Structure 1
């Protein structure tokens, strides 16, 4: 894996964890990266494992079997920082996380798909908030599923984590593309105006793969970026999952492929998934008619060193 000259260097030995909840139809992939974080003021280097996980409508009243399976998944992840999507309330996370984790979450009692971030020592949560609480942003960020900003630090390093859950493709990919692209434009504009020079990790469920326009807008910081396979290196945010897409790794849609599977884990690759995603970009189609429904929607992007506004 070629790494950028950024404040984070992605290790060659990137590890992938298949997340399965036994005897359910929820199959997901959580990708965990090892980052080398280098603070400007100290020579000491810190390794941190970061994950993103759309946990699918988690509430505090789930059945015992699912709760135990999720607890096992979290233990096996052994991640320092985990971004979550589709959380009903903080108690739901408290039931599955070890006590050492601290939770950042703006809880909306009327929302069942809130975002959250869990952090364990030596890292700590300094502050957190919604970035776009104004209802005018609800088209780009559905309902109260706002971008969550969390300041994280330890004695060596401070950085900003942005947790995102983009509009789904429900209702038609071509019809919903503008909403995901609008969200990316808002995020880019916000970073340029308010987080210039900060160390940033943007993670979550983007409901697009790394080749789609909404991700290319984030990777290049350009509102006019086009969809398609990258022809030049990322310049604004480095997408750590780009190479995974090129190898047909997936994180979504397994339940449509393996409806009767009995195994606890799944193959991480689905051949031709990237090709099929790119083939149907900008076209009208019925999701159920797709020969391959799996895709790589869960992603982690990081900022480059000395990033500033254009």
Structure 2
């Protein structure tokens, strides 16, 4: 078990992690034995390279295979949110999210929602409390929010281009609306959990959009509208971008005297890159915060497999970069 004064937390979308002869989404989507070997070997190498203490995963279909792999890599503690859906005994849908840890952890109840709201996540978040050293008890939330893919009808009566265009616009808006609702209820759940436990928290995963997107407004909020006096009360429950915090530690905080650093890219759609994968932390990890106890001292991006892949080694890995942060005790 780690005993140093720092810990590393990471997140990775595994991109259809399903062991053959099982399939993902369609009956023909089955890895060959060689492809599956390449995929698992890539993951083993990546875990060894990053050497994280806690890592969240998305797009997990074969949870047992993943658990066996991470345990062999030195992660004795493992949990998933819920099993994926299987049809015809081998076609897998609705992948799980998972977490592996070198520290003991306890699975918490799945997020509940405010009364009166009949609502379901597209993929239910995972909540565990981890007994770390030296940070003490830490709440970790792993998410895979709704993608930007349009929510189209399974059976369409439209044949012409104009009608399909209108369907796609409506479907895109529905996807954004669902992701917005997921963020709202997730934010409420995490804040109420912290209000009850007063534990620091880490929120990690594939958010499927940049943090500046309108649907993530709750995660950026620091006070009530036109009520600056509310900020002191709300401060312990605010969310903070680990990338920005790492810049501050490197004396590269964005201000009038500095050029804005280039935002990291964690996923490419064609030639267009975006930051979809995030690690947000509570105020306890902010160096200049009144409630700060720890510092985010490093932000690491493992992205060779998406920016400069090696054939036969990286091509079965993932279509997302791995994000890893290093957290250290604040020096007194």
How many residues end up aligned between the 2 structures? 215
CA distance in 1: counterparts of 2:65 and 2:217, whole angstroms:
34
Matches within 5 A, 1:257-296: 257=271, 293-296=272-275
CA distance in 1: counterparts of 2:237 and 2:192, whole angstroms:
17
Given the superposition, is the C-alpha separation of residues 241 and 113 from structure 1 closer, same or farther in structure 2, using an over 3 Å criterion?
A: farther
- The answer as to whether partners of 1:210 and 1:241 remain within 8 angstroms in 2 is no
Q: Whose helix fraction is larger, Structure 1's or Structure 2's?
A: 2
- The answer as to whether partners of 1:210 and 1:242 remain within 8 angstroms in 2 is no
- Pairwise CA distance, 1:182: 1.3
C-alpha RMSD of matched pairs (Å): 3.2
Partner of 1:22: none
SS at match of 1:201: strand
Q: Which is greater in Rg? A: 2
Partner of 2:264: 249
- Pairwise CA distance, 1:76: 1.1
- The answer as to whether partners of 2:131 and 2:138 remain within 8 angstroms in 1 is yes
Partner of 2:217: 216
CA distance in 1: counterparts of 2:242 and 2:84, whole angstroms:
34
Superposed CA offset, 1:40-67 (max 9, x none)? xxxx973111111011110233521222
- The answer as to whether partners of 1:85 and 1:113 remain within 8 angstroms in 2 is yes
SS at match of 2:267: coil
Partner of 2:107: 127
Length-normalised TM-score, structure 2: 0.57
CA distance in 2: counterparts of 1:59 and 1:223, whole angstroms:
45
Pick the aligned partner of 1:60 from 3, 19, 28: 19
Partner of 1:33: none
SS at match of 2:275: coil
Structure 1 portions without partners, runs of 5+:
1-43, 225-232, 258-292
Partner of 1:153: 131
- Pairwise CA distance, 1:184: 1.4
CA distance in 2: counterparts of 1:177 and 1:221, whole angstroms:
23
CA distance in 2: counterparts of 1:202 and 1:103, whole angstroms:
17
- Pairwise CA distance, 1:70: 1.7
CA distance in 2: counterparts of 1:56 and 1:200, whole angstroms:
26
SS at match of 1:76: helix
Partner of 1:299: 278
Superposed CA offset, 1:18-60 (max 9, x none)? xxxxxxxxxxxxxxxxxxxxxxxxxx97311111101111023
Partner of 2:159: none
Length-normalised TM-score, structure 1: 0.61
Given the superposition, is the C-alpha separation of residues 129 and 92 from structure 1 closer, same or farther in structure 2, using an over 3 Å criterion?
A: farther
Structure possessing the higher relative contact order (Cα contacts under 8 Å, 6 or more residues apart)? 2
